[in-house]
Structure 1
Amino acid sequence: MTRTVSQKRAAFRALHASGCFVLPNPWDIGSARYLASLGFEAIATTSSGFAWSVGRADNHIERDMILEHLRAMVDATDLPVNADFENGFGANPTAVAQSVGLAIETGVAGLSIEDSTGDPSAPLFTLDEAVARLEAARRAIDERGEETVLIGRAENFFVGVPDLDDTVARLQAYAAAGADCLYAPGIQTREQIEAVVAAVAPKPVNVLIGGTSAFTLHDLAELGVRRVSVGGGLARAAWGGFMRAAQGLADGRFDGFERAAPGAQLNALFLGHA
């Protein structure tokens, strides 16, 4: 069954209504199609994973490249795609609204806006600036009459400002500004997660699990988390395998291929795709 963009967006929004689901982050068409074959109900892009795949550092990709990547990911499978849209690709709210409009046109079912500036000396937008940027994104979605899910991200723990009180205040402000889902990447403890979930209830919360964790999906569901993403975790795992095998080659060894995926399995997975 091939779903329309509208059907994908409706399905994605429904996933946020109850329960807890995993939102894995592929970095290219092949990884997206493999995840779809495993039965996941939606996928999300990863700015870091995509950047590494084209030989760039995270947050060093131009908007046009991101938009092209989003179109490719939307077309890759029949799953809803949540876009990692960094801080909105705009110097001001008007520019953010324009960029969000272009992202919506790619067919994504969800879109996240971060409050990070990219400036190490002032890594976060002021709360007023961040709210204005999120409100602009909300207007861009509403003016087009679309059902794209808007995610507000508080980047405190990612940019070296691990202030839980400020994180919570930001997420509450983003919820009031129209965010459908809230996300504070970098929070890790049960107490932090419980505080965020309680602060923005009943709106859904995304938690990032980018590496090994003591939490299971059941644990996170019990804490009230609605969705779990892995950011660049899968891409880093793939790079880890490649780097170990390549280093072995450089050292004159071939043992890095021991756990390589069989070519026949990969060919069967992608057979029939143009």
Structure 2
Amino acid sequence: MSETDLKAHAEKLRGLHSGPMLVLPNAWDAASAVIVAEAGFPVVATASAAISAMLGHPDGEGAPWQEMFAAAGRIARAVPVPVTVDAEAGYGLAPGELVDRLLEIGAAGCNLEDTDHRASGLADADAHAEWLAEVRAAATERGVPLVVNARVDAFLPASGIPEPDRVAETVRRGRLYLEAGADCVYPIGVRERRDLATLVAELPGPVNGNTGDRLDLAALRELGVARVSYGPRFYRAALAGLKSAVEELR
């Protein structure tokens, strides 16, 4: 993909955060990405958990980044729409190298989470914000407005954040990340409507949500969520369908 086309894809992806709500049924390989694009979705998002599982590795940066990026690159080449890549926590790459690798595979955007997979907890918020600022600066230097979706993992049990403090900590981190140049904040794991409503109100930028038992698409739209992603949900549903089909053959 030419730099001009990649820049256009990034600008289109950024514009789609202004409404109506951007829905992203995540893909894990070229075939699933084509299905998403041919269904009319304007963007394809990858799911790192699904890709790592497909490659035979555990989630949480358990797969070599080279394999993850190669898979994401095949997705980007398979579809004509912008692709945003779940780059986990950046795989320990320096900001400039991370941006170069993303642009090489044709990514218009990326998810970057604040879990430190080497320390098994959340990264220091200020240090992570500085790292995000360097990612933004590197993308600007290369002339492509890469769309950064900053995932905040405070609601995940592994974060170690007590439940009563998760909303406040997510707001604190999300504001830091937006100030650092992130385009969207992704508070993964939020299940309660009241919590998500507070986050949408308190964060001065677009918010990425997930559907759940208490939060369907209509509820997310009503709350003002800018984008919705599904992670490995469709990958797991596909495997469940395969399991059921092959068991019927026995």
Structure 1 match to 2:53 = 52
**Mapped pair 1:166 → 2:172:** no
Q: Which stretches of structure 1, 4 residues or more, deviate above 4 A after TM superposition? A: none
2:15 alignment partner AA? A
Q: CA deviation at 1:247?
A: 4.2
Deviation track 1:101-150 (CA, whole Å, cap 9, x = no partner) reads 2112222111111110114x641111122112211211111111112111
2:145 alignment partner AA? E
Structure 2 match to 1:98 = 97
Matches within 5 A, 1:150-161: 150-158=148-156, 159-160=158-159, 161=161
Moved more, 239-248 or 147-156: 239-248
TM-score by length of 2: 0.90
1:156 alignment partner AA? A
Structure 1 match to 2:70 = 68
Q: Distance in 2 between matches of 1:147 and 1:42?
A: 16
1:137 alignment partner AA? V
Structure 2 match to 1:255 = none
Q: CA deviation at 1:193?
A: 0.8
Q: CA deviation at 1:6?
A: 2.6
1:227 alignment partner AA? R
Q: CA deviation at 1:248?
A: 4.5
Describe the SS at the equivalent of 1:16: helix
Matches within 5 A, 1:74-93: 74-90=76-92
> In 2 relative to 1, CA 54–190 (structure 1 residues): closer, same or farther, beyond 3 Å?
same
Larger Rg: 1
Q: Distance in 1 between matches of 2:127 and 2:101?
A: 21
Q: Distance in 2 between matches of 1:33 and 1:122?
A: 35
Q: Distance in 1 between matches of 2:106 and 2:120?
A: 33
Q: CA deviation at 1:70?
A: 2.1
* Structure 1 residues not aligned, in runs of 5+: 253-274
TM-score by length of 1: 0.82
Q: Distance in 1 between matches of 2:33 and 2:182?
A: 26
Conserved 8 A contact 2:192-2:215: no
Matches within 5 A, 1:15-30: 15-30=16-31
Deviation track 1:187-235 (CA, whole Å, cap 9, x = no partner) reads 111111111111223x1111123xx534332221110101100001111
Superposed CA RMSD: 1.9
Q: CA deviation at 1:156?
A: 1.5
Conserved 8 A contact 2:89-2:114: yes
Structure 2 match to 1:116 = 115
Structure 2 match to 1:134 = 132
Q: Distance in 1 between matches of 2:208 and 2:40?
A: 20
Q: CA deviation at 1:86?
A: 0.5
Deviation track 1:144-178 (CA, whole Å, cap 9, x = no partner) reads 11121111111122234342211111111101111
Structure 2 match to 1:223 = 223
* Structure 2 residues not aligned, in runs of 5+: none
Conserved 8 A contact 1:88-1:100: no
2:96 alignment partner AA? A
Structure 2 match to 1:179 = 182
Conserved 8 A contact 1:89-1:96: no
Q: Distance in 1 between matches of 2:114 and 2:66?
A: 21
Aligned-residue identity in percent: 32
Conserved 8 A contact 2:9-2:82: yes
Q: Distance in 2 between matches of 1:7 and 1:130?
A: 28
